[in-house]
Amino acid sequence: MEERRELLLESAFRVIARRGVDGATTRAICAEAGVTLSTFHYVFATRDELLEALVERGTEKELTAVGAALEEGAQAISQGRPGAVAILESALSAYIDGVQADPDREQAMISLNQYARQTDGLSDLGSQMYLRYYEAIAAALDGVAAATCTAWDRPTAELAPLVLAGTDGITLSYLNIRDRAICDLIADAVVANLSTHIVDHPETTQNTPEKA
């Protein structure tokens, strides 16, 4: 059953990328997957159940990609502000690589988000998706600071929406004009903005006993 579920989810992503959510009927998805309607309903009770699973799967993949990019960027990076900036640059570059590698999935996620916001019973999916992104990005920014012995001048929960606004801009730009150079410019602007909030030498003595 798990193999059929994977097949249907991947097929649905492709159909939505080409035709939008409205065009992703159960028949169209089954045709893409090469399975019967009875197989579809054996795995998913309804089309909306499939769409909800798609949002969950797409969100998980995005979050996994962000975590992997930051982990890779943190390897052999110097401490202090230069190290933090280098990790951010590496992570956003990796994000752009992911968009380039699978633009259809990104298009499908955008279509799903818009569809969910306008559909009774699914309207919470879009907000849940973004709240999870904000939480994951905030945690990643905390990780950057910890890895480079820096700090942020405000809570990372306040910085996370700035990052997501940048990645949304990168995604939409690439989907529309397929120009990597413009995506890189957006990424540079995001890093430049974030770098203004990096504290080079965070206060570390507040918990240190005073000398007599």
Query: Given this model, what pLDDT does residue 43 score?
Result: 95
pTM for this predicted structure: 0.83
CATH 2.40.50.100 fits 48-199, yes or no: no
Query: Which tens digit of pLDDT belongs to each residue from 73-113?
Result: 666 568 899 999 999 998 899 899 989 998 988 899 898 88
DSSP notation for 122-168? THHHHHHHHHHHHHHHHHHHHHHHHHHT-EESS-HHHHHHHHHHHHH
With pLDDT > 90 as the criterion, what percentage of the chain qualifies? 56
* 69: amino acid identity, one letter: A
Query: Given this model, what pLDDT does residue 206 score?
Result: 41
* Alpha-carbon distances of 90 from 52, 56, 152, 201, rounded to whole Å: 31, 26, 19, 22
Domain ranges across the chain? 1-45, 48-199
Six-digit token string for 100: 């380039």
Find the length of the chain: 212
Question: What is the C-alpha separation between 131 and 157, in angstroms, rounded?
Answer: 10
Six-digit token string for 127: 């907000």
Question: What is the C-alpha separation between 152 and 62, in angstroms, rounded?
Answer: 24
Q: Please give the residue that has the higher pLDDT: either 122 or 98.
A: 98
The answer to whether residue 209 scores a pLDDT higher than 60 is no
Six-digit token string for 8: 């249907």
The answer to whether residue 197 scores a pLDDT higher than 60 is yes
Query: Which tens digit of pLDDT belongs to each residue from 33-71?
Result: 999 999 999 999 999 899 889 888 888 877 777 667 666
* 127: amino acid identity, one letter: S
- Homologous superfamily in CATH for domain 1-45: Homeodomain-like (1.10.10.60)
Query: Given this model, what pLDDT does residue 72 score?
Result: 64
Please report which helix (H) or strand (E) contains residue 29, including its range.
Answer: helix 26-33
Query: Given this model, what pLDDT does residue 202 score?
Result: 55
Query: Given this model, what pLDDT does residue 92 score?
Result: 92
Query: Given this model, what pLDDT does residue 174 score?
Result: 97
Sequence-ordered list of residues with C-beta below 8 angstroms from that of 134, at least 6 positions apart, any chain: 157, 160, 161, 164
Query: Given this model, what pLDDT does residue 71 score?
Result: 66
Query: How confident is residue 147, by pLDDT bands cut at 50, 70 and 90?
Result: confident
